[in-house]
Amino acid sequence: MMKFQWTKLNAWTTAGVLAVVGAVGVGSASLSPMHAHAQVSTVRGLPDFADLAEQVGPSVVNIRTLEKVSSQPTAGAMDEDMLEFFKRFGLPVPNIPKGQRPNRRQQQPDEEQPTGLGSGFILSSDGYVMTNAHVVEGADEVMVTLTDKREFKAKIIGYDKRSDVAVVKIDATGLPAVKIGDVSRLRVGEWVMAIGSPFGLENTVTAGIVSAKQRDTGDYLPFIQTDVAINPGNSGGPLINLRGEVVGINSQIYSRSGGFMGISFSIPIDEAIRVSDQLRATGHVTRGRIGVQIGSVTKDVADSLGLPKQQGALVTGVEAGAPADKAGIQAGDVITRFDGKAVERISDLPRMVGNTKPGTHSTVTVFRRGQTKDLSVTVALIEPDDSVASPSQSEPKAKASPAAQKLGLVVSSLSDAQRQKLKIKGGVRVDAATDAAARAGLREGDVILAVANTEVSSLKDFEAAIGQADKSKAINVRYRRGEWEQYALIRPAR
C-alpha cells in the first residue's frame, strides 16, 4: 500500500532547479466572471486567465528568508545534505536549534545565509503582506520582492502556527492590494487560479477547479481543496476566483514525494483575515478554550450512548476547574451544538470555541443518557497544556471480581482521603488494567466514575453496572486521571 503524507510547502532553495515546461489549453470561447457559476451544460470553453493574471499579478510578492549562522561547528548538528533533502522536497524541516544548523566551510561567523523562498500577497496599500507562518518562522531577515523588481526588508508583524498565517510589513505606500472574496460563495467545481513562486520561479500562474470545501487534514482550519498545481515555493501565495478576489492562501499539498500530485489545499481567506486582524492589532492571536478533550463520534460510540446519529464531538476528558467542568460538562457527553450552531464533526468544535472571544458566555448543548441539555459556559483564554499528576498509586491492591475480570480490570474502593483530594463523591480506583481495559486506554491509578451510563459510587455500584451492561456492545466508561475526567469504550472479548 502506498503511503501518503501531508506536506507544508516550505521555503524552496534555488539550487538544482530544473527547467519546467508547461502547456496551456485554449478553449473555443471565454467565460466572463459573471458566468463563473454557469451550469455545465452551458459551458462551451475554458476561461481565459490572461486578464485575471494581469489584474492580480502585481499584488503577489516573492518572499526570501535569511538566517544567521555561525561558522563554529556544533556537536549533534544535522548533516547539511540531510537538511538540503528536507528543503529540496518541500518537507517541514525538523525543529533544530539555530546553533545546530549545518555549517558551510566558507561561512563567516554570524553570516546571513538564504534559507528558502515563498510567496505572499499585499493586504493593504501601506505595505502589509500576508503569507504562511511556516515561510517566515525562524527567519532572522525577510526580504520581499515586488513584481516591478523593487526589494524591501520586511518586519514580521506576527505569525500564528496553529492557522499557518503570518503578516509582514514593508516600508512602502501606494501598493496594489488584493480584493478579498467571500468564501461562502465559493462552489465546488468553480474555476480558481494561483500565483506564486514554485521552485523559485517567480510570478508563476496555475489554474484548476475547487475540488472540495471544509476539508479536514488534522489542522486547526478547514481547507479548500483544489487541483491547482501547487509546489514548494507557492507557500503563502493567493488562491483567486474568476472575479479577481482572493479566496484562500495556498498552504499544503497531499503527496508522497513532496511535489504536486493533483491535490492541494488552501486556507480559507475569511479565517486568515480573522487571524491577520489580530496579528496587526496585537502581534499575536487569542483563542477561546473550555477545557475538554474530544474524540470522534463513531458508530460504536453512538450505539453505546443511544445517540440517534453519528454527529457532534465526544467529550473524552474534562479538565478539573476549567470552564467545561464548572459548566457541568462530563466525559461521555456528546457536544452537538455550540452557541446554537450545529457541531457536525469533531473538528467543528475547536474552531467554534477558538473563534469565540475569551470571557464570552456561551451555550453548549450536550447529549447525555438519552437526553439533550443546554449548559452555560464562560469561554477562557487558550493556554498550553500542563502535565497533570496521577492519583496516588500507593494504595493496596484488590482482587479482581469475575465481572471486572471480563473487562481486564482490578478495582478497589476509594478512601475518604482520596475522594477529598480528588474532590469527588464516589468512584472506584483502578489497581490494574489489562486486556480490553488496557486496549481502551485505562491504566493503574485511574478512578472510574461511571460505567455504561450509570454513576458509580462504590464497588457494589460498579459490579451492578457491569452486570447490567449489554455485553454485545462496547461498554462506555467515564473516569478520572489526575485533573482530567476522560471517556473510553471497553470492548469485551467475545
Element (H, E) at 136: helix 133-136
Q: Which of 164, 325, 446, 461 is catalytic?
A: 164
Phi-psi region of 467 (alpha: psi -120 to 50; beta: other; left: phi over 0): alpha
* Neighbour count for residue 89 (Cβ, 10 Å): 15
Q: Which of 217, 245, 248 is nearest to 235 (CA)?
A: 248
Instruction: Examine the residue annotation and report whether 126 is marked as an active-site residue of this protein.
Output: no
Give me the residue label for grid cell 468553480: 190
Give the DSSP per-residue string, 213-257: EEE--SSSSPEEEE-S---TT-TTPEEEETTSEEEEEEEEEEESS
216 residue type, one letter: D
Q: How far apart are CA 127 and CA 121, in angstroms?
A: 10
Asked if 28 is an active-site residue, the reply is: no
The owner of cell 500530485 is: 261
426-452 exposure pattern, b = at least 16 Cβ within 10 A, e = fewer: bbbbbbbbeebbeebbbeebbbbbbbb
The Cα–Cα gap between 259 and 459 comes to 58
Name 41's Cβ contacts closer than 8 Å, sequence gap at least 6.
none
Query: What secondary structure, in 3-state letters, does 348-411 show?
Result: HHHHHHHCCCCCCEEEEEEEECCEEEEEEEECEECCCCCCCCCCCCCCCCCCCCHHHHHHCEEE
| C-alpha span between 77 and 99 (Å, rounded) | 8
Compute the C-alpha angle 31/33/34, nearest 5°: 100
Length of the chain: 494
Q: Is 12 helix (H, G, I), strand (E, B) or coil?
A: coil
Exposed / middle / buried, residue 148 (Cβ in 10 Å: 0-12, 13-18, 19+): exposed
Question: Strand 238-241 vs strand 245-255: parallel, antiparallel, or unpaired?
Answer: antiparallel
Residue 181 region by backbone torsions, left for phi larger than 0, else alpha for psi between -120 and 50, else beta: beta
Element (H, E) at 439: helix 435-439
Of 59, 211, 235, 362, catalytic: 235
Parallel, antiparallel or unpaired: strands 238-241 and 288-289: unpaired
Q: Is residue 134 flagged as an active site residue?
A: yes
Calpha distance 460→320 (Å, rounded): 26
Q: Of the residues 119, 134, 160, 347, which is catalytic?
A: 134
Pairing label, strands 151-160, 141-145: antiparallel
Catalytic amino acids?
Answer: 134, 164, 235
